[in-house]
Amino acid sequence: MTAFKRTWPQRLAALGLLGALLLSACSVGEGSDDESSESVEQKLVVGADEDGYTTEGAEADVGQYPLNVNIFESLVRMDENYEIEPSLATKWEFVAPNTWRFELREGVEFHDGTPFDAEAVKYSFDRVAKTGGGTPGFEKGGTKVVDDYTVEITPQFDNRRLLEQLVHPSYSIIAPDSNPGEEPIGTGPFSLVEYKRQQRIVVERYDGYWGEPAQLEEITFSFLPDPNARRLALEAGEVDLVLDVAREAIPDLESKGFLIAESQPGAYSAMYLNISGQKGYTILQDSNVRHAIGYAIDRETLIGGIFEGLATDEQTMVPSRLLGESGASEVEGFTYDQAEAERLLDESGWTMGSGGVREKDGEPLRLELINGFPSASDHGAVPEYIQGQLGDVGIEVEIVKTPDTASYEERLATGEGDIWMEQGSQNDANPLFLPALLFWSVGLFGDIGYQQL
């Protein structure tokens, strides 16, 4: 969640709910074991979520993020054990007090024939610097060309984590003087064939790739924001594979012979509580009310019911596998305790009214739940479940649906809402990634008040 800029209410409190599993499904074709690889067309059509690319300005990122289609490459990459490996950079070293020096791979060309060199790295990172520098903290003049295949990077703050941050596709290397919003040109194993906004992006195998060539000849990513539309496209044979399968669709797909592939928990569903004190939205400044919300939610039933067991109960937005078993066990949060929730509300003077809604000084305990990011449909029945759970302790919840990311962000910019439903992801191997992103004053979202909580 680091590639776009968002405006938030001045102060929010995070109340983690679940580390939800991302799922994908692919069809199992009849007779596939008997067919030779030569007889099968090496093309793949993928049903993806909404088109989240930015197409204008210095933030243009078509083909990079959030859907990385392997047009571009970073200086380094990470293996399954979170170890850094060479990519466009072959060697690197830290030069005190705050500089990283990289030796670059020679003999690499961009898809348009332009040589890859230190100037390309400087162009790419200077471009990120124009929009604030991203998580690594690139700054104007901070990337220097030493020679054709050596570059030095000095971020705007002491950053020993820069190396692992460069793995992120947002910091890929693009061809000098090119614009990913108009014509994405990289060094990756695939090159662009076509991009039609909100419809599809098509890439083909780049035969001049410096590394091991891709097995597929062509990949088409069709943007289908509605999860039901993705499922129907899969069943109709219009796509070969779909991403982010709706939980409720899994039993039916499995019964029809489709393979469901489960990823490790990396995404999370969470509620953010607005404690900014903005007029009309001051109730959650009371810590007793916030804690009551935490105690009022039965996570076990939520996981077993709505999530059908395809989620883990997390007390933090950081995936447990990054904390380690011992570290994760030390994180204490809320357990389901309806009596404790009611006690806290009583203590704060919220008494139960005749209609089942608590009141204080003649005002009802009514909250607005904004559903949600990236869109209301992504959260399924979770908001209604939360509404019911809070209703059981006397908190009335009105659900406000936002159909897409843009409308959610427009609402978020006003700060009008008490509870904000979001899905996010940990796209960095360091456990401090999300906390630093939100709570560190010089983090990517450090100017929006998280660090003051």
Q: Name the band, by pLDDT with cuts 50, 70 and 90, for residue 435.
A: confident
Q: Where residue 441 falls among pLDDT bands split at 50, 70, 90?
A: low
Return the percentage of the chain with pLDDT > 70, whole number. 87
CATH code matching the domain that covers 12-21+266-452, chosen among 3.40.190.10, 3.10.105.10, 3.30.300.100, 3.40.1410.10? 3.10.105.10
Task: Scan for tokens 């007779």, then name that residue.
Answer: 31
Is pLDDT larger for residue 91 or for residue 273?
A: 91
- Is the pLDDT assigned to residue 258 strictly greater than 60? yes
Highest mean pLDDT among 3-17, 44-58, 206-220: 206-220
* Average pLDDT score over the chain: 85
What pLDDT score does 352 carry? Answer: 96
Residue 21 has pLDDT above 70, yes or no: no
Q: Are 306 and 380 in contact (CB under 8 A)?
A: yes
Tell me, which fold does domain 23-28+40-51+190-262 have in CATH?
Answer: D-Maltodextrin-Binding Protein; domain 2 (3.40.190)
Give the pLDDT confidence score for residue 448 in this predicted structure.
Answer: 42
CATH 3.90.76.10 fits 57-171, yes or no: yes
Strand order in the sheet with 23-26: 190-196, 200-205, 218-223, 43-48, 241-243, 23-26, 259-262
Taking only the tens place, the pLDDT of each residue in 53-111 is 999 988 999 999 889 999 999 999 988 888 899 999 999 999 999 999 999 999 999 99
Residue 118: the pLDDT is: 99
- For the segment 181-232, what is each residue's pLDDT rounded down to a tens digit? 999 999 999 999 999 999 999 999 999 999 999 999 999 999 999 889 999 9
pLDDT tens digit string along 107-147?
A: 999 999 999 999 999 999 999 999 989 889 999 999 999 99
Which pLDDT score is estimated for 12?
45
What are 144-170's pLDDT values in tens digits? 999 999 999 999 999 988 999 999 999
- Three-class secondary structure assignment of the chain: CCCCCCCCCCCEEEEEEEEECCEEEECCCCCCCCCCHHHCCCEEEEEECCCCCCCCHHHCCCCCCCCCCCCCECCEEECCCCCEEECCEEEEEEECCCEEEEEECCCCECCCCCECCHHHHHHHHHHHHCCCCCCCCCCCCCEEEEECCEEEECCCCCCCCHHHHCCCHHHCECCCCCCCCCCCCCCCCEEEEEEECCCEEEEEECCCCCCCCCCCCEEEEEECCCHHHHHHHHHCCCCCEEECCCHHHHHHHHHCCCEEEECCCCEEEEEEEECCCCCCCCHHHCHHHHHHHHHHCCHHHHHHCCCCCCEEECCCCCCHHHHHHHHHHCCCCCCCCHHHHHHHHHHCCCEECCCCCEEECCEECEEEEEEEECCHHHHCCHHHHHHHHHHCCCCEEEEEECCCHHHHHHHHHHCCCCEEEEEEECCCCCCCHHHHHHHCCCCCCCCCCHHHC
pLDDT band at 266 (very low <50, low <70, confident <90, very high): low
Q: How confident is the model at residue 10 (pLDDT cuts 50, 70, 90)?
A: very low
pLDDT of 382 over the 50 cut: yes
pLDDT in tens, 383-419: 999 999 999 999 999 999 998 878 887 887 788 899 9
pTM over 0.95: no
Q: Does 30 score more than 70 pLDDT?
A: no
For the chain, the domains span 12-21+266-452, 23-28+40-51+190-262, 57-171
Q: At what angle do helices 287-296 and 382-391 cross, to 10 degrees?
A: 110
Q: Retrieve residue 131's tokens.
A: 């929009």
Q: For residue 345, name the pLDDT band (cuts at 50, 70, 90).
A: very high
